[in-house]
Amino acid sequence: MIDLRSDTVTLPTPAMREAIARAELGDDVYGEDPSVNRLEAMAASMMGKEAALLVPSGTMGNLAAMLTHCARGTKAIVGADSHTNLYEAGGASALGGIVLTAIANTDDGELDTGELARELGTPADDHFAPPSLVVIENTHNRCGGAPIKLSHMAEVSAAARRRKVPLHLDGARIFNAALALETTPKEIASHADTVSFCLSKGLGCPIGSLLCGSREFIARAHRTR
Ligand SMILES: *Cc1c(COP(=O)(O)O)cnc(C)c1O
């Protein structure tokens, strides 16, 4: 039997268990765990970012990203069908005072660009929560695991940049997206300021996700973690 409930039910192979048992360890908060350091360097390089931070889960990767990008009382613009909106227990609001602002997803997982423009165009008026982040998901879990086209990523990225709003990519399954789009994770992530991805989805790792971004951002995310 192959268990198809979720790609998270994959288990480590014997070779992985052996590598875990033999791993060199150290204190990660002091930056002294050589295995974590190597993993973070590898992740940053694969995503084309300066630095990376290991976190226990994808939810925590997205949460650390939102808490680091967004001040309290500001808006994180997310897809209505996104993992961030539906499956992360409202953590950004509960822990960060962030206004999760859901805009429509199209059937193929893209963000509705009209609604995005409207939210990004929130007037600079003290009545309104100002937008501080856009979150895009690739592949899109709730929309059939759809890979999101690079042209759409570029369009969303340009719209956010025009408003000086950063873009976070929930790339839980970015390697699936790269295969489906016949490109590299780095190319997909190049459209976003920060990206998180899971090691626990189809890759056999029991837990673990990485948040990647600039050195300065990751230093702040380390404190958030
Ligand atoms: C699984 C998933 C996450 C969160 O990962 P966990 O490790 O389960 O917390 C985030 N985003 C998407 C799109 C996912 O599918």
Domain ranges of the chain: 55-224
Strand pairing report for 194-198 and 167-170: parallel
C-alpha 163 – ligand 1 centre gap (Å): 28
CATH for the stretch 55-224: 3.40.640.10
What is the spatial distance between Cα 87 and Cα 59, in angstroms, rounded to a whole number?
A: 8
User: Could you tell me the pTM of the whole model?
Assistant: 0.97
Where residue 60 falls among pLDDT bands split at 50, 70, 90? very high
Matching residue, tokens 């990751």: 218
Q: How do residues 91-119 score in pLDDT, each as one tens digit?
A: 999 999 999 999 999 999 999 999 999 99
Both tokens of 27, joined, read: 């204190």
Q: Are residues 191 and 23 in contact, defined by beta-carbon separation less than 8 angstroms? A: no
Where residue 132 falls among pLDDT bands split at 50, 70, 90? very high
Helix 215-224 to helix 58-69 angle (10° resolution) is 110
Q: How do residues 189-208 score in pLDDT, each as one tens digit?
A: 999 999 999 999 988 888 89
- Our mutation pick for probing the ligand 1 site, out of 87, 143, 148, 175, counting the most ligand atoms within 8 A of Cβ, is 87
- Residues with Cβ within 6 A of ligand 1? 57-59, 62, 83, 137, 141, 170, 172, 198, 200, 209
- Amino acid letter for position 20: I
What stretches of the chain adopt beta strand conformation (E)?
51-55, 75-79, 99-103, 131-137, 167-170, 194-198, 209-213
Q: Whose CA is nearest to atom 4 of ligand 1?
A: 58
What is the spatial distance between Cα 122 and Cα 2, in angstroms, rounded to a whole number?
A: 48
